[in-house]
Amino acid sequence: MAVDLLLGLQWGDEGKGKIVDVLTSKYNIIARFQGGPNAGHTLVFNGTKHVLHTIPSGIFHKKAINLVGNGVVIDPVIFKKELDKLSLHKVDYQKSLVISRKAHLILPTHRLLDAASEASKGKAKIGSTLKGIGPTYMDKTGRNGIRVGDLELDSWKEKYRALANKHESMVSFYDVDLEYDLNELEVEFFEAINVLKSLTFIDSEDYLYQAQRAGKSILAEGAQGSLLDVDFGTYPFVTSSNTTAAGACTGLGIAPNVIGKVYGIFKAYTTRVGSGPFPTELFDKDGETMGRVGNEFGATTGRSRRCGWLDLVALKYACQVNGVTELMMMKADVLSGFKSLKICTAYKHKGEIIYHFPFNVEVHNVSPIYTDFEGWDEDLTKMSNESTLPKSLNAYINFIEKELQIPIKLVSVGPDRKQTIFR
């Protein structure tokens, strides 16, 4: 059976967690392929909100296996906290959660390096979640990292010590004040490692190959969004992994020719948390309304998210890079009550009108060209059928579908699992 992918098409927080949860009943395996605890995936059902960072969003379904792939970076301390929360909700994760031996570990000193690097950048900081993501992927590609499978070897603590010592000397290289107590950080780290070791470690690429050959259905869950991809995003204001479709191949060991559907998730408007260019960003009342109604605060850091109109130039680019086959539009309910809406359909770039996402999308290079749309007043949050959607929302949806030439198969009208309309 084919492996389907689910990816964010903007700057993250599109609502991936909600949709993976909604789709899990159709799949045997949910597999996270990149990122780490920089992600915050929110699920809401039965009146309770859950936020997952590293654990795949299918974990609340009894039958599915949830797999943390080799492309993911794991902070044992945060991972343990996630497991503790799952225990409170009686999730039998010992049975339903498996981890790739090839996934890399985030050490306490990776977090320190992240903090030192950001502090040293001053105004040019990335706006990182400071979870140690960049330094851990740097150690992975620099061939210094420690992997989950290393924990099964006696020698891993020596390797740990050598790497942590090296990190400490690197931290001191930065000209910043960073107060920390490594001994204290290591106590919780080693405790968390013991918890991690109680879980099932697997050779995940073989596991997925066999599962796929045996006809099991697999959904690959992305983290972040395409515009934060280290190659295709707004570099250097990106994360350190490939968040796009290719990342699912390298982050799980699946071949490109087994990929089936590519679900692309986007918000009906745009948000971004952290620094970096954002051509359609609003600094007015409309932006403020989106943030307030959409409750746009980061699920991992609590920072307020920057808000703006939908950017079709960027969305088209993300659809191309990922080969999106089906779109899912999130948070349509947040746009209720706007008299008129705008969609960016082109950029003015160095005096010319362009329709592609250029190398430089900074504000001084690019200004958005908008098409206007009529708004709608209806409250969508209790709607469950496509036929009840307001006429102007249908016009908004039809325009996007026509521009992107990809069907919008799902419209989300609230955070709850049930507030989901299939088309």
The residues annotated as belonging to the active site are 13, 41
Binding partner of residue 38 among ligand GDP, ligand IMO, Mg ion, none, CB under 5 to 8 Å per kind? ligand IMO
With beta carbons less than 8 A apart as the criterion, state whether 24 and 18 touch. no
Q: Give yes or no for residue 59 binding ligand GDP (CB under 6 A).
A: no
Please spell the DSSP secondary structure of 334-374, one letter per residue. Answer: GGTT-SEEEEEEEEEETTEEE-S--S---TTTEEEEEEEEE
- Closer CB to ligand GDP, residue 16 or residue 316? 16
CA pair distance 266, 402, nearest whole angstrom: 16
Rounded distance between C-alpha atoms, residue 77 and residue 195, angstroms: 9
Task: State the binding partner of 134 from ligand IMO, Mg ion, ligand GDP, none, CB within 5 to 8 A by kind.
Answer: ligand IMO
Determine the Cα–Cα distance for residues 204 and 208; give it in Å rounded to an integer: 6
Q: What does 21 bind: ligand IMO, ligand GDP, Mg ion, none (CB cut-off 5 to 8 Å by kind)? A: none
Binding partner of 34, given Mg ion, ligand GDP, ligand IMO, none, CB within 5-8 angstroms per partner class: none
- Quote the least distance from Cβ 5 to ligand IMO, whole Å: 14
Positions 64 through 123 that interact with ligand GDP (CB under 6 A): none
**Minimum CB–partner distance for residue 153 and ligand GDP (Å):** 34
* Binder among 4, 5, 7, 12 for ligand IMO (CB under 6 A): 12
Residues of this chain, 210-229, that bind ligand IMO according to CB under 6 A: 223-225, 228
- The 10 Å CB-count burial string (b at 16+, else e) for 96-112 is bbbbbbbbbbbbbbbbb
Question: Which one of the spans 36-44, 130-138, 170-178, 231-239 is the region binding ligand GDP (CB under 6 A)?
Answer: 36-44
**Please, which residue, 53 or 349, has the CB nearer to ligand IMO?**
53
Considering CB distances under 5 to 8 angstroms, the limit depending on partner class, which of Mg ion, ligand IMO, ligand GDP, none binds residue 334? ligand GDP
| Partners of 6 in the β-ladder | 221, 263
Got the DSSP string for 41-82? EEEEETTEEEEESSS-TTTTSSS-EEEE-TTBEE-HHHHHHH
Q: Does 408 bind ligand IMO (CB under 6 A)?
A: no
- Residues between 267 and 296 with contacts to ligand GDP, criterion CB under 6 A: 294-295
Beta bridge partners of 4: 219
Asked if residues 78 and 86 have their Cβ atoms less than 8 Å apart, the reply is no
Q: Are 374 and 335 in contact (CB under 8 A)?
A: no
Return the SS3 of 104.
strand
Torsion region of 106: left, alpha or beta (phi above 0 gives left; psi -120 to 50 gives alpha): beta
Of the residues 86, 126, 319, 380, which one makes contact with ligand IMO according to CB under 6 A: 126
Binding ligand IMO (rule: CB under 6 A), the pick from 100, 117, 128, 280 is: 128
Select the residue interacting with ligand GDP from 4, 14, 82, 286 (CB under 6 A).
Answer: 14
Site string for ligand IMO, 288-317 (x = CB under 6 A): -----------x------------------
Helix (H) or strand (E) holding 240: none
Which candidate, 210, 202, 242, places its Cα nearest to that of 225? Answer: 242
Smallest distance from the beta carbon of 275 to ligand IMO, in angstroms?
6
> Closer CB to Mg ion, residue 56 or residue 368?
56
**Taking CB under 6 A as the rule, does residue 274 contact ligand IMO?**
yes
| Complex with ligand GDP: residue 269 or 357, whichever CB lies closer | 269
Q: Using the rule CB under 6 A, which residue among 239, 322, 345, 392 binds ligand IMO?
A: 239
Shortest Cβ 376–ligand IMO spacing (Å): 27
Location of structure tokens 């539009």: 329
Which helix (H) or strand (E) covers residue 205, if one does? helix 204-213
Q: What's the CA gap between 57 and 97, in Å, rounded?
A: 11
Strands (E), 222-356: 259-267, 270-272, 306-308, 310-311, 326-330, 340-349, 352-354
Q: Least distance from C-beta 221 to ligand IMO, angstroms?
A: 9
Least separation, in Å, of the C-beta of 39 and Mg ion? 6
CB 51 within 8 A of CB 40: yes
CA 304 to CA 389: how far, in whole Å?
Answer: 29
Out of Mg ion, ligand GDP, ligand IMO, none, which partner does residue 330 contact, by CB within 5 to 8 A per kind?
Answer: ligand GDP
Query: Quick one: which of 329, 397, 408, 382 has its CA closest to 19?
Result: 329
- Residues at the contact surface with ligand GDP, assessed by CB under 6 A: 8, 12-18, 39-42, 44, 294-295, 299, 330-331, 333-334, 412-415
- Residues at the contact surface with ligand IMO, assessed by CB under 6 A: 8, 11-13, 35, 38-41, 126-129, 131, 133-134, 223-225, 228, 239, 273-274, 299
